[in-house]
């Protein structure tokens, strides 16, 4: 729910709406200076392994979230199946001058080739409360064997290190679209910085939310330009392994709901170097959540047989949720449901799959409506539905990292 008082309710709602919508423009890098900026070195993954993700990507995008040794964000990579040829996808991404035709609320997307040969895109995004603009430099790299090559871009701003790389991998029935990215959350607006200060792992999730704002329209527009029946079907295949992704970071899988463009659920997977018993002990004692999960202000619980009923307050700047949950043991961990409060109806599961006695795969799955008790979030998700996935992943990353730290002994 929104935290308000009778005297400042309207003013705070307006302030929060303005600030949260501002963070939605992160992926477009708000820059106006021509000074040289640092271009982040993005680490790629093997194309042949990414191509094998195509069957799984038909039900929704997958993201790899990587951290530096100190826990700060390293990069976020998004993988999405596009029912279009790589040439079509490259044409959509490679003509920023047309972005305003298919990216909602973008009123300006100019293109200029400067005398030194630099390709520059100048854009403006109109939001209900304000407008944002910026400048990006594009670099078109050659492809192999006549195939479309990667597209790289970065912000022109000495205070913004945002850097992205698009790759189009051909597969039967379409393209695996890859966006490697570093979104400079640290230098964003004050509200976003306060999110990250309170919950450092939110940096990763907010970056993912911002990148999804760009990736989703590229898929939609590419598929719109592809004639029906012009591509062969994607062959059936066994579920791909995520092991090569998990070696580098946490894996987020996003599924849409029964209606197109509606949120379904997300899952976060991570390797935990602890025994299954220690992981389940961390998850299975909600009364202790407030002592090691950032943003959880209060948590109390009581046991009824094998079940645990607990109430938890989750708080981020200017927004909080108070929810009562029922959690029960499952064959692989725990499963639960929100029974009362702001997230009533939410469903979640914690699954632990041991690999060795002190190495396990931890998977957190959740389906919930963060906006059902929040006016601001409803407005934010109306602006761009992909942000609902990003924010759910952001909170999921916080929970999974906290459980991992608790089980491994550093939380």
pLDDT of 1 above 60: no
CA 8 to chain centre: 32
d(CA 65, CA 265): 17
- Residue 26 in any domain: the answer is no
**Which residue do the tokens 């570093």 mark?**
182
- Residue 255 in any domain: the answer is no
- Residue 239 in any domain: the answer is no
pLDDT for residue 256: 84
d(CA 178, CA 151): 11
Residues 6+ apart with CB under 8 A from 301: 285, 286, 287, 308, 309, 310, 311
User: Once rounded to an integer, what is the mean pLDDT over residues 115-123?
Assistant: 93
Structure tokens at 245: 């992704």
State which residues form the domain around 119.
31-228
User: Once rounded to an integer, what is the mean pLDDT over residues 104-116?
Assistant: 91
pLDDT of 130 above 90: no
User: Once rounded to an integer, what is the mean pLDDT over residues 379-388?
Assistant: 80
pLDDT for residue 4: 37
pLDDT for residue 315: 87
pLDDT for residue 246: 97
pLDDT for residue 28: 44
pLDDT for residue 120: 94
Helix (H) or strand (E) holding 15: helix 9-23
- Residue 147 in any domain: the answer is yes
9-41 pLDDT, tens digit per residue, is 445 455 455 555 555 544 444 433 334 567 889
pLDDT for residue 30: 42
Residues 165 and 278 in one domain: no
pLDDT for residue 192: 61
Helix (H) or strand (E) holding 31: none
Residues 329 and 387 in one domain: yes
362-378 pLDDT, tens digit per residue, is 999 999 999 888 888 88
pLDDT for residue 231: 94
Domain final residue pick, 200, 228, 256: 228
Higher pLDDT, 27 or 59: 59
Domain final residue pick, 203, 228, 253: 228
Higher pLDDT, 158 or 282: 282
Residues 297 and 359 in one domain: yes
CB count within 10 Å of CB 4 equals 15
254-308 pLDDT, tens digit per residue, is 998 776 667 889 999 999 999 999 999 999 999 999 999 998 999 999 999 999 9
pLDDT for residue 350: 98
Q: How many domains does the chain have?
A: 2
User: Once rounded to an integer, what is the mean pLDDT over residues 232-238?
Assistant: 81
d(CA 117, CA 402): 48
**Which residue do the tokens 């999960």 mark?**
293
- Residue 117 in any domain: the answer is yes
Structure tokens at 7: 């005297």
3-state SS, one letter per residue, for 385-407: CHHHHHHHHHHHHHHHHHHHHHH
Which whole-number Å values give the CA distances from 254 to 32, 45, 156, 389, in the listed order?
34, 20, 31, 7
- Residue 261 in any domain: the answer is no
Structure tokens at 109: 């997307």
pLDDT for residue 342: 96
C-alpha closest to that of 148 among 176, 111, 109: 176
- pLDDT grade, residue 173 (50/70/90)? very high
**Percent of the chain beyond pLDDT 70?**
84
Residue burial 172-202, b: 16+ Cβ < 10 Å; e: rest: ebbbbbbbbbbbbbebbbebbbebbeebbbb
- Residue 296 in any domain: the answer is yes
DSSP H helical ranges for 47-115: 47-51, 54-57, 86-93, 99-102
Residues 44 and 94 in one domain: yes
Which domain CATH number covers 35? 3.30.530.20
Domain final residue pick, 228, 256, 288: 228
CB count within 10 Å of CB 302 equals 11
C-alpha closest to that of 192 among 405, 410, 328, 394: 394
Question: Whole-number mean pLDDT of the chain?
Answer: 86
- pLDDT grade, residue 328 (50/70/90)? very high
User: Once rounded to an integer, what is the mean pLDDT over residues 31-54?
Assistant: 79
């Amino acid at each position: 729910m929104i935290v308000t008082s009778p005297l400042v309710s309207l003013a705070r709602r307006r302030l929060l709406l303005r600030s949260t919508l501002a963070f939605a423009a992160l992926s477009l890098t708000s820059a106006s200076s021509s000074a040289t900026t640092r271009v982040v070195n993005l680490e790629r993954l093997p194309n042949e392994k990414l191509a094998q993700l195509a069957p799984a990507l038909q039900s929704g995008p997958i993201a790899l979230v990587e951290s530096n040794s100190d826990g700060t964000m390293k990069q976020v990579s998004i993988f999405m199946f596009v029912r279009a040829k790589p040439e079509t996808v490259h044409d959509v991404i490679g003509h920023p001058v047309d972005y305003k035709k298919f990216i909602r609320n973008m009123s300006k997307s100019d293109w200029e080739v400067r005398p030194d040969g630099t390709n520059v895109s100048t854009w403006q995004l109109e939001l209900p409360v304000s407008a944002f603009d910026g400048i990006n430099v594009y670099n078109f790299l050659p492809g192999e064997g006549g195939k479309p090559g990667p597209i790289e871009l970065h912000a022109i701003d000495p205070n913004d290190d945002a850097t992205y790389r698009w790759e189009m991998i051909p597969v039967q029935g379409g393209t695996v679209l890859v966006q490697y990215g570093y979104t400079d959350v640290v230098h964003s607006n004050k509200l976003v910085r306060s999110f990250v200060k309170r919950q450092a792992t939110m940096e990763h999730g907010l970056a993912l939310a911002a990148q999804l704002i760009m990736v989703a329209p590229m898929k939609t527009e590419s598929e719109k330009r592809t004639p029906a029946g012009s591509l062969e079907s994607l062959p059936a295949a066994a579920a791909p392994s995520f092991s090569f992704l998990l070696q580098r970071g946490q894996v987020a899988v996003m599924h849409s709901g029964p209606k197109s463009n509606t949120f379904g659920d997300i899952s976060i997977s991570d390797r935990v170097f602890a025994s299954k018993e220690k992981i389940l002990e961390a998850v299975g004692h909600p009364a202790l959540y407030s002592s090691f999960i950032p943003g959880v202000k209060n948590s109390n619980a009581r046991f009824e047989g094998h079940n645990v009923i607990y109430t938890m307050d989750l708080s981020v700047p200017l927004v909080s949720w108070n929810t009562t949950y029922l959690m029960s043991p499952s064959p692989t961990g725990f499963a639960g449901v929100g029974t009362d409060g702001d997230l009533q109806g939410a469903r979640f599961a914690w699954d632990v799959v041991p690999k060795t006695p002190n190495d396990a795969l931890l998977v957190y799955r959740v389906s919930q409506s963060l906006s059902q008790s929040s006016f601001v979030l409803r407005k934010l998700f109306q602006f761009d539905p992909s942000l609902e996935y990003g924010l759910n992943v952001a909170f999921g990353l916080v929970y999974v990292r906290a459980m991992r730290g608790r089980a491994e002994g550093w939380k």
